Amino acid sequence: MKLRLTCLLLLAACFNLEANEQTQQFPCSHVSERPCVALVLGGGGARGGAHIGVLKAIEQQGIKIDVIVGTSIGSFVGGLYASGLSATEIEQLFSQADWNTGYKDDLNRSELPNRRKQHIDNFPIQLDLGFDGKQLKLPRGIIQGQGMKKLLDEMLGIYPIFGSFDDLTIPFRAIAADAQSGEQVILSQGDLSKAIQSSMSIPGLLRPIELNNQLLVDGGIANNLPISVAKELGADIVIAVDIGSATLNKDELNSSLSIIMQLTGFLVTKNVNQQKKLLTSNDIYIKPTLNDVEILDFEKVTSTISQGYQSAVTALTDSTVSKQLANTAEPVKRKSVTLFQQPVNSIKITNNSRLNDDYIADRFGVKPGKKTNLNAIQQGIDRLYGQGTLVRVNTVIEQQEDKLDIDLEVEEKEWGPGYLDFKLSFEDTFETFSEYQIGAAYRYTNLSPYGAQWYTKAIIGTEKELSTELYWPINTSGFYWQVGGSFQREIFSYYINNIILGELTDSHTDFSAGIGWDKYDKLNILFGPMYSEGTLKLPGVFDNQTDKNRLDYRQYGAVFELNYDSFDHASFPRSGNRLDAKIEYLNFDILDKSNFSTNLGIEYNTVYSIGYHSLRGLFRYQSILDTDPTALIGLSSLGGFLNLSGNPLDTISGQHVRFMSVIYTYELVSNNFGAINLPLYLGTSLEAGNAWQTKSDIDYSDLIYSSSVFLGWDSPVGPAYLAYGQSTTGDESFYLFLGIPF
């Protein structure tokens, strides 16, 4: 009897398990009194705004949607609608979204640590080229997807990890493709945001998403209009929306990207045609006319909504099936979670990097037991990503009653741990000689679990430099130590009464060490000793006046530096402040004489912008605070573009400098290409300053006034300028710069 009862219970349990799996696998099984309707939303990039118009028409007809299947942008719109958002709400999100952020990973400069800012400023050609000491390595995609994840999270809000996407307001499936086999992958559970991002990861452009031991890419290459999936889910009626683009003609195949998109398009067209053969007379096929919008034209994404709406209205009106489905829809309620200043119960870290968990938790900044919100969580994600060695930072938030459980996943760049960056600079004033530099920097990262780095750079050209530096954070204290050495050769034009008499060459070897503090990314403090020795090669004009054309010198002492930097751009800022302060207590040995001096330098920048207009103010103070040393050492100088424009470079020199300027820029052309932004500016400046040899000479009635007008371009290799400057000294100059100015 007991055996028979046990068998019956096991049999019942098996039938119950099978029924649950059937319900989960076939969401149409719960629809019994009418046909089960599936909405299939195809891929097409920026043309996906048309899906919103289709949804509006469906809502207007009152058609009940029982399951949604989407590919690429279709999974994005479909996932939002499946979560319970209305077509109007999705339209608002699309209108407010900054789509360009979805196709670039770089954070705003103001969000980076100061050390990272300075490196990018000095070596702006950031190719993200990896080098491990043996071979060059490239990332898996041009864009790594961090920006796209941020955009998705902003639109979707907070969701738990779903055991099944059937638990959404409307059952949902996202279609991705396995990068190894090319086969379609049906995503039916887990992290909704990651599922959608997997479905949208265009091969070669966006990094594949690793999920369930598979590398997933855009589902369009496998099934761009997944009618077959909807049928397999039990749909009786399929409403299929095809937003695929036509193939490009010969004239339109004008770039490598367009050729890649064309070849991908052949695969997409082939699988779409196969899917269309599955449609029956009970199904509805909608093909909006979108000839003027290409896949990556996201600035036009909302313009396609009306076209999608008109095409859907026509298709639904012509369909006898749609009349049977009209007015079957019921009010829906979104099953999302709101988050406003709620306490954190726990933070689980999945660490796929060489960094320590406590370092990751410290940079994330969100603490268990403390209250947080979505903005604070996103700021923590940005702090981690801005560190520069992580390829992905992902969070999943679970709400347990009134508390939050946060799963934080970090993944290190697999093409490291060393990276090469470059610089190219050129300068010509059309009067004196031209100057140029070509340089490369090598960063070997995460030498310690707390982000230690070895940094080496080599620069050749008119001026040369070879340097190396080791940066070593001390746990999560915010303190660090660093040590470095360099060789530099610098060339200065030697002037007397604005007449160039030749070149002064300064070749020197430097060593430094220090203890610093950089707990906050915008602030850096460093104090330590330095030692330098070098040779000054004098201009030929001194050959008949002295028996030495070379002067050996050395200097040593202590240096204190403070840097605060919240500028959003190094050369064309629109917001932020920057303060650089430096105090040096140094001994100079030259010509058998020794001089101690205390040098103080302060420079403060601030900028304010409205619309396309920006106004930047700068103040600089440099002085020797005690006895003046030998004139050749310790000098500060003015002259050159935006540094008393019109005057030749470094012609105004002394040991006490006062300078201020106001710079206005107007953005003429944005040149916004989504992942790349290369704006063109028109600008002008007003400048005042002078340099005096002794404190007693300082007289503000001696100020020199200058002005300039310029065209500036934020080019891929750094700032570029074409400028004209003139000064009350009677000097004037034209300038041409490319890359970081000298």
Strand-pair category, 342-352 with 403-412: parallel
Q: How far apart are CA 518 and CA 565, in angstroms?
A: 12
198: exposed, middle or buried (C-beta count within 10 Å: 0-12, 13-18, 19+)?
buried
Does residue 218 carry a catalytic annotation?
yes
SS3 of residue 741 by DSSP: coil
Enclosing H/E stretch for 56? helix 49-61
Q: Which two tokens stand for residue 458?
A: 């080599």
Asked if 381 contacts 359 with a C-beta cutoff of 8 angstroms, the reply is no
Task: Report residue 347 as tokens.
Answer: 């933070």
Cα 605 from Cα 620, distance rounded (Å): 9
- Angle at 315 (CA atoms; ends 89, 285), nearest 5 degrees: 90
For 624-639, the DSSP string reads E-SS---TTSS-EEE-
Give the SS3 label for residue 42: coil
Q: How far apart are CA 232 and CA 60, in angstroms?
A: 28
Instruction: Give the Å distances, CA to CA, from 453 to 418, 428, 473.
Output: 9, 35, 9
Per the structure block, which two tokens stand in for 125? 């050609």
| Straight-line distance from the first to the last Cα atom of the chain, in angstroms, rounded to the nearest whole number | 95
Q: How far apart are CA 379 and CA 375, in angstroms?
A: 6
Q: Kindly tell me the burial class for residue 229, based on how many C-beta atoms sit within 10 Å of its own C-beta (0-12, 13-18, 19 or more).
A: buried
Torsion sign over Cα 189, 192, 196, 198: negative
CB 599 within 8 A of CB 583: yes
Instruction: Provide the CA 612 distance to its chain's centre, in angstroms.
Output: 22
Give the active site residue among 153, 191, 218, 518. Answer: 218
The number of C-alpha atoms within 13 Å of 238 and in the hemisphere containing its C-beta is 27
Other Cβ atoms less than 10 A from the Cβ of 516: the count is: 19
Burial class (CB in 10 A: 0-12, 13-18, 19+), 330: exposed
Question: HSE on the CB side for 468, CA within 13 Å?
Answer: 2
CA max distance for the chain = 122
**Run of H or E including 129:** strand 125-131
- Please check whether residue 422 is in contact with residue 457, taking contact to mean a CB–CB distance below 8 angstroms: no
Contact by Cβ (8 Å): 518, 525:
yes
Q: Which of 72, 188, 661, 733 is catalytic?
A: 72
Backbone angles phi, psi at 117, to 5 degrees: -55, -50
Angle between helices 49-61 and 87-96 (to 10 degrees): 160
Per the annotation, the verdict on 72 as an active-site residue is: yes
Contact call for residues 693 and 628 (beta carbons, < 8 A): yes
Angle at 97 between CA 92 and CA 98, to 5 degrees: 160
Query: What's the residue count for the chain?
Result: 742
Q: Which two tokens stand for residue 374?
A: 């979505």
* Residues 588, 597 contacting (CB under 8 angstroms): yes
DSSP assignment of 551-620: EEEEEEEEEEEEEEE--S-SSS-SSEEEEEEEEEEEEEEETTEEEEEEEEEEEEEEEEEETTEEEEEEEE
Q: Could you give the CA distance from residue 669 to residue 713 in angstroms, rounded to a whole number?
A: 10
Query: Is-contact 234 29, C-beta < 8 A?
Result: yes
Annotated catalytic sites, by residue? 72, 218
